[in-house]
Structure 1
C-alpha cells in the first residue's frame, strides 16, 4: 500500500482527514478527487514545461578546476572516453573506450541508474579486448531529458542510433563487423525492441534481467493508479514519486528475494538496481562510488530524472501487453535465419538471456516460459544465484559468460 500511504501522508499535511482503512476503490476515488482539487488550488498547479530539461551538466561553472571536477558525486571522467553529443532531443553523455579493432559492444542500462551501473561490466569487457560504448539514457546521469515526447522504444531506438553515429569508428557500416548489443533491465527491453527492427546491425543480442515481458498480473494496482496519465495532476504525481523514491529504497532497500511472489510496486524498479556490495567497483578512476550514491544524487540533482522515470514506466518497453509483438518479430526472424543460414544476419541463432534466481522484479520461471514462447525457442538461459542487481555485482563473471557465448 505504498502509494496510498504516501497519498494519505500528503492529505494529512493538508489538514484533510482521510480514513486509510476504507475499501480500495473508495481510497482510489478519494485520492483522485483530492488530487484534482489540490492540483488547482495548491502549489502542484501545472506549469508549462520546457521541451528539453537540461541535465545537471548545464548548471556547472565552466571551466571547472581539477578540484571541482573531483568533488562531483559523479565526476565528469567517471568512465573513460567521455563525450557529450548534441541532438535534437537534447545532449547525450556517451563513453567509449577499448581497442579500436576489438569486438564492438553496446551496453544499455536500467530505468533508474545512470550508465555507471554497468561500469564494472564495461571495464571487464574492455579487459577482454572489447571496444565498448555506454551512454546515459535520456533523463539519467548527464544526459538531457526531452520532456515533450514519451520515453518509449521509438525514442530509445533513436538514442541508440545517435550514440552510435557519434563514434569516430564505424559501428553500423558494411565494414563495421556489426556490434554485440547488451541490455539490462529496462535496457533489456530497449535492446529487444531495437533488435526486432534492426537485426542486420547486430552480431548478437544479450539480455540481462530484461523488461519487456512483465506480465500484467505482476504490476501492482497502486502503481497503475499512480502512473495512469490524467488520473492525478502531473505535478502531484511527480511529487509523490520523488518522495517515494527518496523515502523508501534509498534509505532502506527491500531484501532481495524477500517478495518474489508480490506484485511490482512504484519503487521496486529502483530498489532492485541498487547494490550495497563492498566488492562493487563501477569506476576504476573512483572505486568507492556506488550505484546508491549515484542514484541518490540523480534524484536530488537531475531536474529531468523524475519526469523520465515516470514516462519510462508509462511508455517504456516494460509490459508484455505492449512488447510481445517485438519479441515475436525477433523470434520469427531468428527462426527464418536458421532456415536460410543468411551469412549477413545475426551470427548467433539464439538470444542469450541471463537472469537472477531471486529477482524481485523479473520472475524467473514466468520469464523463461514467456521468452521461450515469444522467441520460438531461440533463447539460451544462464543464471546467477542472486537478485536483479547481478550485472553490477558479478560483472567479471558475467563478462566471462558473454565472451564465452560470443566465441
Structure 2
C-alpha cells in the first residue's frame, strides 16, 4: 500500500501536467503547476533516473530500420522515403551520421536551407524545387535528431553544434560552396533555422551572398513564454523521462485545430505544432516531386514514433537553441555591426551580402513570430540593416507559399 499511494499520485500528476498540452486547455494557475511539478519531482526521484540519455549518439531510422530492403510499393507509401529528394547522401561525423540532399545545376546560384525545430528538411522541399526550376543549386540537410540525421545526446543543441553542422554539410559537397571561386551562397533559415542562420551569419558573414530568414526565432521576447513552458523546459526540475513522455504525447496529437490567439502566451504545444500546416493545406502541398503524397503532419508523426533522438533533440533545442531574445541579442547585434561597417566599404573592395541587408519574411497571422515585436526588435538589433516582407499566412508559410517565396529569393540572387 505504501508503494501504490505514491504511484497513484504520480499518475494523477502526469495526467494533470499532460493536460497542459491539450489545444483547448486554459492557462494553468501558478500555484497548481508549481505544486504538481514539485510533487512529481519528489515522487519520481526514487522511481525514474534523473540522468539524460546514456548513449552518446541516438541513431536515426536510417540505422534502426532496413530502408534499402523495403519494396517499391512500400517506398511509395512511406511517410519519408530515403530518396525523397535528389542527391541524398549520409555524411559521417563525430556527432553521428547526418543526411544531406543536394541537386540543381552545379554552376547555378547556391542556396543552403536550414529547417525548423519540429519538421525535418522536407518542410522546405517545395521551396527548394522551385529554386532549382529557376536554375539554382540547392542543399538541404536534416538537423541532428530529425529525419535521417543521428542525434548527439551528450551535447546541447546550441549555436556551436548547429554552426558546426552547417560547415559539415557544406564541406561534404562535391563542389565548392566556400572557396574563393565558389561565388558564395545564400543562407535561408526557417523558424529555429532562422535563428541558426542568423547566428552562423554573425560568425561567417564573408561566406554568404545573402541571408534570408523565414519567420525566424532568435528574438522571441521572454515575456511571450508562459510559466507552464518555463517550468516544463527547465532542466533538472523534473526527470527527463517524464518530460519526454509529455512532449511525445503532445507531438502525437498532431496539428493545432485552431490557431493560437495572438494575445496568448507561447507554450510548448504552440512550438511543437505551428510548423505543421492544416490538413487542408497539407493536401495541396507538393514538397517532393518524386513522392507527391509526402506531407508534413504524416512525416512528423512517423518521426516521433521512429527516431530515437527526436524528442531529446527537441527538448535540447528548446533549452539551448537560438530562440529567445535574451540569449541571442548579442549575436544579432554582432551581425548588425558587421553590416553597418560594410556600408562604408566600396563593393569593389569587399563583396557584401546582397544590398547589405538581412531579408526577413514572415506571415501576418503568425502567432509565434509576432510582427509588432519582430519589426522593432530586428531593426534595432541589426542597426536598421534589414528588409521585411509579409505574407497573408501563418508560421507555416514557407511550405504553403513556396512559389512566392522562391520568387523573392531568386530576385536577390
Shift, 1:9, TM fit: 9.9
Secondary structure of residue in 1 paired with 2:343: helix
Q: Decide whether the 8 Å contact of 2:48 with 2:239 is kept in 1.
A: no
Secondary structure of residue in 2 paired with 1:120: helix
Which runs of 5 or more structure 1 residues have no equivalent in the other structure?
1-7
Q: Decide whether the 8 Å contact of 2:191 with 2:217 is kept in 1.
A: yes
Shift, 1:262, TM fit: 1.2
Q: Cα–Cα, structure 1 residues 182 and 15, in superposed 2: closer, same or farther, change >3 Å?
A: closer
Q: Decide whether the 8 Å contact of 2:287 with 2:295 is kept in 1.
A: yes
Partner residue, 2:5: none
Given the two structures, how large is their TM-score scaled by the length of structure 1?
Answer: 0.91
Partner residue, 1:80: 86
Given the two structures, how large is their TM-score scaled by the length of structure 2?
Answer: 0.90
Please show how residues 254-293 of structure 1 align to structure 2 within 5 Å. Answer: 254-256=257-259, 258-275=260-277, 276=279, 277=281, 278-293=283-298
Number of aligned residue pairs: 392
Which of 149, 153, 160 is the aligned partner of 2:159? 153
Q: Which moved more, 1:272-281 or 1:203-212?
A: 272-281
- Following the alignment from structure 1 to structure 2, what is the Cα–Cα distance between the partners of residues 296 and 23? 27
Which of 176, 191, 213 is the aligned partner of 2:219? 213
Q: Cα–Cα, structure 1 residues 50 and 360, in superposed 2: closer, same or farther, change >3 Å?
A: same
- Following the alignment from structure 1 to structure 2, what is the Cα–Cα distance between the partners of residues 15 and 285? 42
Please show how residues 4-403 of structure 1 align to structure 2 within 5 Å. Answer: 11-12=11-12, 24-42=29-47, 46=51, 49-61=54-66, 63-67=68-72, 68-247=74-253, 250=254, 253-256=256-259, 258-275=260-277, 276=279, 277=281, 278-341=283-346, 342-403=349-410
- Following the alignment from structure 1 to structure 2, what is the Cα–Cα distance between the partners of residues 339 and 283? 43
Secondary structure of residue in 2 paired with 1:229: coil
Secondary structure of residue in 1 paired with 2:125: helix
Secondary structure of residue in 1 paired with 2:195: helix
- Following the alignment from structure 1 to structure 2, what is the Cα–Cα distance between the partners of residues 51 and 292? 29
Q: What CA deviation, in whole Å up to 9, does each residue of 1:76-116 have, x standing for no partner?
A: 11111100000000111000000000001000000000100
Q: Decide whether the 8 Å contact of 1:254 with 1:271 is kept in 2.
A: no
- Following the alignment from structure 2 to structure 1, what is the Cα–Cα distance between the partners of residues 15 and 174? 59
Which runs of 5 or more structure 2 residues have no equivalent in the other structure?
1-7, 21-25
- Following the alignment from structure 2 to structure 1, what is the Cα–Cα distance between the partners of residues 295 and 77? 15
- Following the alignment from structure 1 to structure 2, what is the Cα–Cα distance between the partners of residues 274 and 91? 26
Shift, 1:288, TM fit: 1.5
Q: Cα–Cα, structure 1 residues 10 and 242, in superposed 2: closer, same or farther, change >3 Å?
A: farther
